[in-house]
Chain A
Amino acid sequence: MIRLPDPKPEVLARRAEIVAALQRILPPGPMGDGVISEELRLKPYETDGLSAYRQPPLAVVLPETTEQVAAILRYCHQNGVRVIPRGAGTSLSGGALPLADAVVIGLMRMNRILEVDYDNRLAMVEAGVTNLGITNHVAADGFFYAPDPSSQLACMIGGNVNMNSGGAHCLKYGVTANNLLGLKLVTIEGEILEVGGRHLDAAGYDWLGLLTGSEGMLAVITEVTVRILHSPEGQRAMLAAFKSNEIAGEAVDAIIASGIIPVALEFMDRPAIHACEAFAHAGYPLDAESLLIIEVEGSVAEQDSLLAKLKGICERFDPISVKVAESAEQSLAIWKGRKGAFGAVGRISPDYLCMDGTIPTGQLPFVLRRIGEMSESYGLQVANIFHAGDGNLHPLIMFDANDPKSFHAAEAFGADILKLCVEVGGCLTGEHGVGVEKRDLMGVQFTAPELSLQRAIKGAFDPDWLLNPAKVFPLEDNPAFAARVLPHAA
């Protein structure tokens, strides 16, 4: 159950006037209406990747330039109107969930690639360019943009910056924050600012670092300068199946201790293996308790050498099987099951919650054991996928959305898992963000003064709490809201 703050009655009462004012800023153009306010057309914007929660906004605006974003924000600031920034709406934590009295700023029409500079290895793009769109644009020249969240076909770079998105290859290439050079942004007052640039480590406070992962609460980001990298000569995967989670965990430790940094090191537990195999027929061993997918990069000879070393390490741990891909095709086959994991789980259960905590990697066997016990006591199935190199755990909790009891149990189960992550020294979210989903758990990880401090820093950017105001921080003790909050009808 997630609660949203009361809409401001004075804003709701002025709805027609606000829409008219926004239409003056964004008159209809070749791309269609810039302002959407009809009930039916607001439908697609009432939710995001956390589709259990829905709330139509007051209106949606679709600007095409940074100057238009500035004019919209200036108007909203002067009129006390709340604003929800939105990219592709793929957030799994409800980061783009609207409020009834808020204007959603959709950045999808700002989808131009402004500059690609191979000598300096950077691309400057608008916020509405998709993650994969950047890589696709430079791939023919041998380059790529490294962070690869699994929604990369749809998700937009502006959203990636706001959520500090990760992906399966973070162990080697880092997350979004590690791959940015500069941002153009608009403050709630409508000021257009640039931070960072085309260079590394601009002197002064690290606004670029603070804005990355700020979940749309500090500013609206309109342009992003990313670092692009030349692709390696090639990559290849191997698969190793083990008799227990403990043994797989020991194998991961041994790999790290060997000095090899695989480009990906993915773990799946028994339920995940079975779900993926039934769906993708990737040839995963069904008698295994756990499975590792390990990928390395380099020339063919380098791949051979690294994979032989990794095979030797895995064989020390009494594996059920070890399969090294002999070709790019075999490599794809190994990945096929893992990449289809969400679809695979969806086939078993039409509804599931994809959780996202991080744990110290050594705690994996303990955490999986505890999750197994919780699964029994809640009576809900769970499959676990784990970025083993960086400790990012994705339990997929299966439930029945037609049964409110089942949904609430799934939410409670998810919250218990995240509390467990914090208990063992980890955190509530590794890459999906807090959004509304984990907002009310923030007190598990942070003390009240720590939360007040973070809120005050948001306040330094947005004193009136107009930008994505109901996200990340619990509402109850937030002085920015009236004490009264209404239960939200899920």
Chain B
Amino acid sequence: MSGGVQGEVLAPATEADLSAAIAAAAAAGEPLAIEGNGTKRAFLRPVQAARTLTTRGLSGITLYSPSEMIVSAWTGTPLPEIEAALAERGQHLIAEPPSFSALFGAALPPTIGGLVSTNLSGPRRITGGAMRDHVMGIRAAGGTGEVFRSGGRVLKNVTGLDLCKLLAGAHGTLGVITEVTLKVLPGPASSGTVAVRVADLAAGVRVLSAGLGSPFGVSGAAVLPSGTEGRPGPLALLRIEEFSDSVAYRTGRLRADLAPLGEVAVIEDAESRALWAAVREAGPLGAAPDDAIWRVSVRPTAGPKVVAAAGMARALLDWGGGLVWLAGPATPEAHARVVAAAEAAGGSFTLFRAPEPLRAAVAVLPEEPAALAAIGRRVKAVLDPKGILNPGRMRAGL
């Protein structure tokens, strides 16, 4: 399902070469498919381009200052390389970005530039912020090849328009990020999870709301409809990441406070870490190989209603209930049910994985109101005047 690489592949080894490659493509008016390690080719819409530009040649950490809590890396640096460097100094990426290698059947790990460009965040997003929240600076090449910077290498910066956020989550359609600087934090000394057996998803989200509305600094909040090994579902999970004495104290307090809501257990450090590593990759969704996968974002209490309205057999709730993972038949009808459910809940959706014909045939993201779409086209024209960067990736004709 990951799809093949398209046509000729350009793999510049320097920012200058990348810039020149884009400039040449712009001069020729030839669109480029932009990718890192190509782990998410089956994500969003198929790109209409004869050639592919990969950033995997621009690799390596350029600056890591643990005391200043920042790391800079060339865009093609593989995620595991950055995670390993941070782990050596007891630090981590705050947004806990998933690789989704299993979901997409990718052999290679994602690149840091790909993770920023897709703004995909893991369970810690609910309290720690998204991938885009920790992008302190970028270098990027626009659609003419010209390299520009935004932000910098410090943690607090409001100088000029924040193009870091504009490019994070733009899926390579507004520019090709060449280098990123991320805020990092000390990783937790210990992890603990309070697991509450609940009657249904709505009861599960009530547990999550109680935990997230507590003073205990919950850093993960998910409902597993089918539970997990040895723990039947639906199972509501609340994670604490702290020094070990604080983990013991806070999980103990949550255990006592949540007892009226269902049978409660506390999952200790190693098992807790393994559990959230699985949630991070949407493993408990249990998607079948042929399933389409949707990611819906709504206010947390609306999560269970979205699952019911979409009528999918397989689901997973993260982010307090607000991130709804759904897996089901890869048909336009199923897609329409998900779209309707997301819209009824006032939320947003992404067709996350599907065979190419479905991705090409439907809107994979919500439509924008006309006035906003017009601004979007003007911004695209500023950054990519020839429209050569990942055309059609997010929306048809853009």
A binding-site residues for B, Cβ under 8 Å = 117-122, 142-143, 163-164, 166, 170-171, 174-175, 177-178, 187, 189, 191, 193, 195, 197-210, 212-214, 230-233, 252-253, 256-261, 298-299, 301-302, 305, 358-362, 387, 389-392, 425-434, 438, 442, 445-447, 449-451, 453-454, 456-461, 472
Question: B74 → chain A, closest Cβ, in Å?
Answer: 18
- Find the residue from B165, B166, B349 having the highest chain A CB count within 10 A: B165
Known contacts A177-B162, A454-B161: does B301 contact A200 (CB below 8 Å)? Answer: no
A199 x B322 contact (CB < 8 A) = yes
Please pick, from A143, A201, A232, A432, the residue contacting B125 in the complex, using a CB distance under 8 A. A201
Question: B70 → chain A, closest Cβ, in Å?
Answer: 8
Please pick, from B130, B245, B375, the residue contacting A200 in the complex, using a CB distance under 8 A. B130
In the complex, A122→B372 CA distance in Å?
Answer: 24
B156 x A204 contact (CB < 8 A) = no
B214 proximal to A (CB < 8 A): yes
Known contacts A120-B299, A205-B376, A453-B382: does B152 contact A231 (CB below 8 Å)? Answer: no
A sample of 8 cross-chain residue pairs with beta-carbon separation below 8 angstroms, ordered by A number, consists of A206-B169, A209-B162, A210-B161, A391-B154, A430-B156, A445-B160, A453-B142, A454-B163
A214 x B301 contact (CB < 8 A) = no
Tell me the dominant secondary structure on chain A's binding face.
Answer: loop
B156 x A199 contact (CB < 8 A) = no
B68 / chain A contacts, CB cutoff of 8 Å: 360-362, 391
Question: A427 → chain B, closest Cβ, in Å?
Answer: 5
In the complex, A166→B217 CA distance in Å?
Answer: 21
B170 x A205 contact (CB < 8 A) = yes
A178 x B133 contact (CB < 8 A) = yes
In the complex, A460→B174 CA distance in Å?
Answer: 14
Which residues in chain B, 144-180, are within 8 Å of chain A measured between CB atoms?
146, 148-150, 152-166, 168-170, 174
A204 x B366 contact (CB < 8 A) = yes
A142 x B300 contact (CB < 8 A) = no
A117 / chain B contacts, CB cutoff of 8 Å: 299
Q: Mark B118-146, 1 if CB is under 8 A from A, else 0.
A: 01010001100110110000000010001
Question: A338 → chain B, closest Cβ, in Å?
Answer: 18
Known contacts A201-B119, A361-B67: does B162 contact A210 (CB below 8 Å)? Answer: yes
B348 x A202 contact (CB < 8 A) = yes
Which residues in chain B, 34-82, are within 8 Å of chain A measured between CB atoms?
65-69
A360 x B154 contact (CB < 8 A) = yes
In the complex, A429→B152 CA distance in Å?
Answer: 11
When C-beta atoms are compared, the residue in chain B nearest to A171 turns out to be: B155
In the complex, A390→B134 CA distance in Å?
Answer: 13
Please pick, from B142, B162, B185, B189, the residue contacting A212 in the complex, using a CB distance under 8 A. B162
B368 proximal to A (CB < 8 A): yes
In the complex, A445→B162 CA distance in Å?
Answer: 14
A163 / chain B contacts, CB cutoff of 8 Å: 158
B346 / chain A contacts, CB cutoff of 8 Å: 197-199
B103 proximal to A (CB < 8 A): no
Please pick, from B67, B89, B299, the residue contacting A198 in the complex, using a CB distance under 8 A. B299
Please pick, from A120, A261, A450, the residue contacting B300 in the complex, using a CB distance under 8 A. A120
When C-beta atoms are compared, the residue in chain B nearest to A451 turns out to be: B160
Question: B242 → chain A, closest Cβ, in Å?
Answer: 8
- 20 extra interface residue pairs, beta carbon distance < 8 Å, beyond A198-B346, A260-B186: A117-B299, A118-B209, A118-B213, A164-B158, A164-B162, A166-B156, A199-B299, A202-B348, A202-B366, A203-B365, A204-B366, A204-B368, A210-B166, A213-B162, A302-B249, A305-B246, A427-B159, A429-B158, A442-B160, A453-B383
Please pick, from A195, A305, A458, A472, the residue contacting B243 in the complex, using a CB distance under 8 A. A305
B379 proximal to A (CB < 8 A): yes
B156 x A197 contact (CB < 8 A) = no
In the complex, A298→B121 CA distance in Å?
Answer: 26
A458 / chain B contacts, CB cutoff of 8 Å: 161
B binding-site residues for A, Cβ under 8 Å = 65-69, 89-90, 119, 121, 125-126, 129-130, 132-133, 142, 146, 148-150, 152-166, 168-170, 174, 185-187, 189, 206, 209, 212-215, 217, 243, 245-246, 249, 297-301, 319-320, 322-323, 346-350, 365-366, 368-369, 371-372, 375-376, 378-379, 381-383, 394
In the complex, A233→B215 CA distance in Å?
Answer: 6
When C-beta atoms are compared, the residue in chain A nearest to B131 turns out to be: A201
A301 / chain B contacts, CB cutoff of 8 Å: 249
In the complex, A171→B119 CA distance in Å?
Answer: 22
B299 x A428 contact (CB < 8 A) = no
Known contacts A120-B300, A197-B347, A390-B155: does B382 contact A460 (CB below 8 Å)? Answer: yes
In the complex, A366→B209 CA distance in Å?
Answer: 47
B168 / chain A contacts, CB cutoff of 8 Å: 206, 209
A430 x B157 contact (CB < 8 A) = yes
A142 x B215 contact (CB < 8 A) = yes
Question: A263 → chain B, closest Cβ, in Å?
Answer: 11
Known contacts A302-B246, A391-B155, A460-B379: does B163 contact A230 (CB below 8 Å)? Answer: no
Question: B254 → chain A, closest Cβ, in Å?
Answer: 12
Known contacts A201-B119, A209-B165, A256-B69: does B156 contact A457 (CB below 8 Å)? Answer: no
In the complex, A178→B65 CA distance in Å?
Answer: 22
A256 / chain B contacts, CB cutoff of 8 Å: 66-67, 69, 186
B217 x A232 contact (CB < 8 A) = yes
Rank and list the top 10 A-B pairs by shortest CB-CB distance, nearest first. A209-B165, A460-B378, A259-B186, A430-B156, A191-B371, A390-B155, A253-B67, A198-B299, A202-B348, A358-B154
A299 x B155 contact (CB < 8 A) = no
- Find the residue from B119, B142, B158, B174 having the highest chain A CB count within 10 A: B158
Please pick, from B156, B162, B174, B383, the residue contacting A392 in the complex, using a CB distance under 8 A. B156
A438 / chain B contacts, CB cutoff of 8 Å: 159
A389 / chain B contacts, CB cutoff of 8 Å: 155
A214 / chain B contacts, CB cutoff of 8 Å: 161-162
In the complex, A458→B161 CA distance in Å?
Answer: 9
In the complex, A228→B255 CA distance in Å?
Answer: 23
In the complex, A442→B157 CA distance in Å?
Answer: 13
When C-beta atoms are compared, the residue in chain B nearest to A309 turns out to be: B243
A430 / chain B contacts, CB cutoff of 8 Å: 154, 156-158
A391 x B382 contact (CB < 8 A) = no
In the complex, A392→B157 CA distance in Å?
Answer: 9
Question: B2 → chain A, closest Cβ, in Å?
Answer: 21
Known contacts A197-B346, A257-B66, A457-B382: does B162 contact A359 (CB below 8 Å)? Answer: no
B174 / chain A contacts, CB cutoff of 8 Å: 205
A446 / chain B contacts, CB cutoff of 8 Å: 149, 160
Known contacts A170-B156, A391-B156: does B162 contact A189 (CB below 8 Å)? Answer: no
B383 / chain A contacts, CB cutoff of 8 Å: 453, 457
Please pick, from A119, A203, A210, A362, the residue contacting B67 in the complex, using a CB distance under 8 A. A362
Known contacts A203-B366, A204-B368, A301-B249: does B67 contact A445 (CB below 8 Å)? Answer: no
Please pick, from A193, A360, A392, the residue contacting B65 in the complex, using a CB distance under 8 A. A360
In the complex, A178→B152 CA distance in Å?
Answer: 17
In the complex, A175→B133 CA distance in Å?
Answer: 9
A119 x B382 contact (CB < 8 A) = no
A232 / chain B contacts, CB cutoff of 8 Å: 215, 217
- Find the residue from B146, B214, B299, B348 having the highest chain A CB count within 10 A: B299
When C-beta atoms are compared, the residue in chain B nearest to A392 turns out to be: B156
Question: B112 → chain A, closest Cβ, in Å?
Answer: 18
When C-beta atoms are compared, the residue in chain A nearest to B300 turns out to be: A120
B365 / chain A contacts, CB cutoff of 8 Å: 203-204
B67 / chain A contacts, CB cutoff of 8 Å: 252-253, 256-257, 361-362
In the complex, A191→B375 CA distance in Å?
Answer: 11
When C-beta atoms are compared, the residue in chain A nearest to B94 turns out to be: A174
In the complex, A89→B115 CA distance in Å?
Answer: 39
In the complex, A431→B168 CA distance in Å?
Answer: 21
In the complex, A373→B156 CA distance in Å?
Answer: 26
Question: B359 → chain A, closest Cβ, in Å?
Answer: 14
